[in-house]
Amino acid sequence: MTMQEDHKDCFVLEGKMALPNQNFAGRLGSRFLIAIRDRKKIMGLKCNPCGKTFVPPREYCEKCWTKIADNWVELGTEGELVNFTVVRYGDRHLPKKPPYILGQIRLDGADTPLTHIVEGIDPRDVESGIRVKAVFAEKTTNTIMDIDHFEPV
Amino acid sequence: MTEYFGTTVADIFATMPKRFKPEEAKEVDIAIGYEATGEGGGKWKATIKHGTLKVETVEGELTDCKTTIHTDAETFVGVTLGMIGALDALSSQKLRVAGDPKFLMLLLPKIFTPYVAPAKKPDAVTARDIIATLAERFRPEKAEGVAMTIGYDLAGEGGGRWTIIIRDGKCAVREGLADPLTVKMTMEAKTYAGMMVGTIEAVTAFTSGQVKIEGDMAAAGATAKYFRKYVVPGATEAEELISLRVTNSIEQRFATGPVMGRWFAGIREKKFLANRCPKCGRTQIPPREICAWCRVRVHEFVEVGPKGVVTHFDIVYFASPDPLTGAVRDTPYATVYVVLDGATEREAITVDLKKEDIPRLKEGARVRPVWAEVTTGSYRDLIGVELDEEEGSL
């Protein structure tokens, strides 16, 4: 049986849906980002009993649970690349075009590494242990991308 | 008490003793009479004598005052807050002083600390309050060479229609909508207020359809930079906290197909069209190609309603916020299940009941549809139902 179809009553209903997403950086995260944005400085939080300095900031020391939220210390904008990977696939949500180096940088004065992008060196030549320095973004966005990237010293 | 610029005349007098500086008024001996006309006005007398202050409200005539101030309540509040220049008010005769105005202008700031409007919760600020500060927040240096007229059509409480004219580095605000406009923005007054105080994200409001922009879109986006940010009166500056917001807008298209399309075609004509199963006889609402009970093709369309009977209902007193926008519906609201006349029992439609009818809602009540002014063949055409009492309900 063939269907007799009359299309005169076919409708297309249009709709629009907004999906708002919100990510709160937190009180410490905000201070950390604002220091980068306004003063071009990278700040860490130091636990005096352990002598360890954390970056990105955290409210409590992971070892001794001392509250360190107010014990800000300024770190260097240079550091050592302690680990890295090379991102080779592209996707809309990624900050750079592949291939790029995603590195872990232990800044001078810090005990924990900060993850960021390393540029200015070919992914084939990069190796752990090189010295890198932060290059701050000219146009700030209130994100960690206010450090645009790190590059070899 | 009528508010002007977010505060009242009465509050200004009520806070006078707190703002009084006795050490500055040791040599002062004066009685000042105040008459503020219009809504929220009244008469007051402030007697300052050797470092003491007495404030009283006066019924009838102001007597024994060395100097008296006559003005309307709005000008009085405006001048007190510094929103209206005292000299402007004097020269335009909106404010008259019997006595020596110069003496008062020198004396009052010396013996009183400035009046500050009480802090308002951000959600208590109305669109009207915010529009009133527009001209003052204008940044001529950012608007060099800009010539545009922006219309605001803000519905609901605290709303109204305004035209903002930016030209030659100047900004003027007029009541009403001018023609032509560079851009016109239509929204609820509370949406506008929320965007200005920062509780509603502009992008979200736009992408979710809460803001309608007609005309030059780019101009609408640029307007913000011509004005300093609105600050809620009395609000203290909080520590800056970073919160990132991203809004994805998803376009949706739903194709009805020919069968359900008949339903929407009917809705456009303010009719309810169901289709009747040839086997079990039920009237499917909305119509479907096949009766899922009998598994037979359904062809016959029948008109049902437009009136019907409420079989059961829910009245919601505490609405959960919309997970997408955070907005909360006005409560209470009632969702009623209506079996339209001529429809089979299980095919009830679920619609909103007119708010005013909620107190008289009963099971078995007769209802009639409430249609949108313009019907386009959309689910929005049927706004809801209202009680059909002329006919006599249960």
Last residue of a domain, one of B111, B131, B154: B111
Cis previous bond, B286, omega within 30: yes
Residues of B in contact with A18 (CB under 8 A): 204, 207-209, 247-250, 324-325
Whether B228 has a pLDDT exceeding 90, the answer reads: no
Work out the average pLDDT over B232-245.
73
pLDDT bracket for residue B221 (50, 70, 90)? confident
Work out the average pLDDT over B41-69.
86
Q: How many helices (H) and strands (E) does chain B have?
A: 11, 21
Tokens (6 digits) for A26 = 């937190």
Please indicate whether residue A136 or residue B200 has the higher confidence score (pLDDT).
A136
A4 DSSP 8-state letter: -
Tokens (6 digits) for A108 = 């001078």
CA A17 to chain centre: 29
Contact check, Cβ <8 Å, B249/A17: yes
Last residue of a domain, one of B208, B226, B244: B226
| Residue B98 within a domain | yes
Whether residue B340 contacts residue B306, with contact meaning beta carbons closer than 8 Å, is answered with: yes
Work out the average pLDDT over B90-119.
81
| Residue B249 within a domain | no
Rounded CA-CA distance B275/B343 in Å is 10
Rounded CA-CA distance B163/B146 in Å is 15
Please indicate whether residue A21 or residue B138 has the higher confidence score (pLDDT).
B138
Give the nearest partner residue to B254 out of A13, A19, A29, using CB atoms. Answer: A13
- For residue A28, give the chain B residue with the closest CA: B241
* Residue B274 β-bridge partners: B302
What SS3 class is residue B83? coil
Work out the average pLDDT over B187-205.
83
Q: Note down the domain range covering B82.
A: 9-111
Q: How many CA atoms lie within 13 A of B353 on its CB side?
A: 30
pLDDT bracket for residue B238 (50, 70, 90)? low
pLDDT bracket for residue A56 (50, 70, 90)? very high
Please indicate, yes or no, whether residues B273 and B366 belong to a single structural domain of this protein. Answer: yes
Encode B58-71 in three state secondary structure. Answer: CCCCCCCCCEEEEE
Rounded CA-CA distance B43/B37 in Å is 8
Please indicate, yes or no, whether residues B96 and B130 belong to a single structural domain of this protein. Answer: no
Please indicate, yes or no, whether residues B291 and B368 belong to a single structural domain of this protein. Answer: yes
CA A149 to chain centre: 10
pLDDT bracket for residue A2 (50, 70, 90)? low
Rounded CA-CA distance B159/B153 in Å is 8
| Residue B243 within a domain | no
Whether residue B142 contacts residue B169, with contact meaning beta carbons closer than 8 Å, is answered with: no
User: To which residue do tokens 């000042």 refer?
Assistant: B32
Give the nearest partner residue to B209 out of A16, A19, A29, using CB atoms. Answer: A16
Residues of A in contact with B247 (CB under 8 A): 18-21
Give the nearest partner residue to B324 out of A6, A12, A19, using CB atoms. Answer: A19
Which residues on chain B place their C-beta less than 8 Å from a C-beta of chain A?
Answer: 201, 204, 207-209, 239-258, 261-262, 264-265, 324-325, 377-379
Q: Is B101 exposed, middle or buried (0-12, 13-18, 19+ CB in 10 A)?
A: middle
Rounded CA-CA distance B278/B203 in Å is 51
Domain ranges across chain A:
27-152
Whether B393 has a pLDDT exceeding 50, the answer reads: no
pLDDT for residue B93: 83
Please indicate, yes or no, whether residues B265 and B357 belong to a single structural domain of this protein. Answer: yes
Structural domains of chain B, count: 3
Contact check, Cβ <8 Å, B325/A20: yes
Interface mutation target, options B241, B251, B290, B381, chain A, most CBs of A under 10 Å: B241
The minimum CA-CA distance between A37 and chain B, rounded to whole Å, is: 11
Q: Is B391 exposed, middle or buried (0-12, 13-18, 19+ CB in 10 A)?
A: exposed
Run of H or E including B308:
strand B308-316
pTM more than 0.90: no
Rounded CA-CA distance B308/B340 in Å is 4
| Residue B375 within a domain | yes
The minimum CA-CA distance between B245 and chain A, rounded to whole Å, is: 4
A108 DSSP 8-state letter: T
pLDDT for residue A7: 73
Please indicate, yes or no, whether residues B18 and B91 belong to a single structural domain of this protein. Answer: yes
The minimum CA-CA distance between B203 and chain A, rounded to whole Å, is: 9
Work out the average pLDDT over B118-128.
73
| Residue B393 within a domain | no
pLDDT for residue B394: 46
The minimum CA-CA distance between A102 and chain B, rounded to whole Å, is: 23
Residues of B in contact with A24 (CB under 8 A): 241-243
| Residue B100 within a domain | yes
pLDDT for residue B391: 53
Whether residue A84 contacts residue A115, with contact meaning beta carbons closer than 8 Å, is answered with: no
pLDDT for residue B272: 94
Please indicate, yes or no, whether residues B103 and B127 belong to a single structural domain of this protein. Answer: no
Residues of A in contact with B262 (CB under 8 A): 9
Percent of chain B with pLDDT over 90: 23
B72-90 CB burial, b ≥16 within 10 A, e <16 = bbbbbbbbbbebbebeebb
Amino acid identity at B58 = V
Work out the average pLDDT over B122-142.
83
Please indicate, yes or no, whether residues B197 and B103 belong to a single structural domain of this protein. Answer: no
Which residue stretches of B92-162 are H helix? 101-111, 127-132, 134-137
* B339-364 residue pLDDT tens: 999 999 888 999 999 988 999 999 99
Whether residue B166 contacts residue B143, with contact meaning beta carbons closer than 8 Å, is answered with: yes
Percent of chain B with pLDDT over 70: 95
Rounded CA-CA distance B169/B154 in Å is 26
Poorest-confidence range of A77-81, A99-103, B18-22, B238-242? B238-242
Give the nearest partner residue to A9 out of B204, B252, B258, using CB atoms. Answer: B258
E strand intervals along chain A = 12-24, 42-47, 52-54, 72-75, 78-87, 100-107, 114-118, 131-136, 147-152
* B291-316 residue pLDDT tens: 989 999 998 999 998 999 999 999 99
Other Cβ atoms within 10 Å of B323 Cβ, number: 8
DSSP B145-190: T--EEEEEEEESTT-EEEEEEEETTEEEEEES--SS-SEEEEEEHH
Q: Give yes or no for A19 touching B (CB within 8 A).
A: yes
- For residue B377, give the chain A residue with the closest CA: A11
Complex prediction ipTM: 0.71
Residues 6+ apart with CB under 8 A from A65: none
Please indicate whether residue B62 or residue A144 has the higher confidence score (pLDDT).
A144
Q: Is B24 exposed, middle or buried (0-12, 13-18, 19+ CB in 10 A)?
A: middle
Q: Give yes or no for A20 touching B (CB within 8 A).
A: yes
Q: How many CB pairs under 8 A join A and B?
A: 103
Whether residue B122 contacts residue B232, with contact meaning beta carbons closer than 8 Å, is answered with: yes
Average pLDDT, chain B: 85
The minimum CA-CA distance between A57 and chain B, rounded to whole Å, is: 14
pLDDT for residue B123: 62
Residues 6+ apart with CB under 8 A from A142: A25, A33, A37, B242, B244
| Residue B44 within a domain | yes
pLDDT bracket for residue A32 (50, 70, 90)? very high
Contact check, Cβ <8 Å, A13/B256: yes
Please indicate, yes or no, whether residues B105 and B141 belong to a single structural domain of this protein. Answer: no
Whether A39 has a pLDDT exceeding 60, the answer reads: yes
Rounded CA-CA distance A111/A29 in Å is 18
Rounded CA-CA distance B47/B58 in Å is 12
pLDDT bracket for residue A1 (50, 70, 90)? very low
Q: What is the CATH number of the domain that holds B23?
A: 3.30.1050.10
Rounded CA-CA distance B180/B199 in Å is 31
- For residue B200, give the chain A residue with the closest CA: A20
Strands B212-215 and B183-188: antiparallel
Residues of B in contact with A21 (CB under 8 A): 245-248
Contact check, Cβ <8 Å, B242/A34: yes
| Residue B117 within a domain | no
pLDDT for residue B352: 93
Whether A38 has a pLDDT exceeding 60, the answer reads: yes
B38 DSSP 8-state letter: S
Which residue stretches of B237-390 are H helix? 257-268
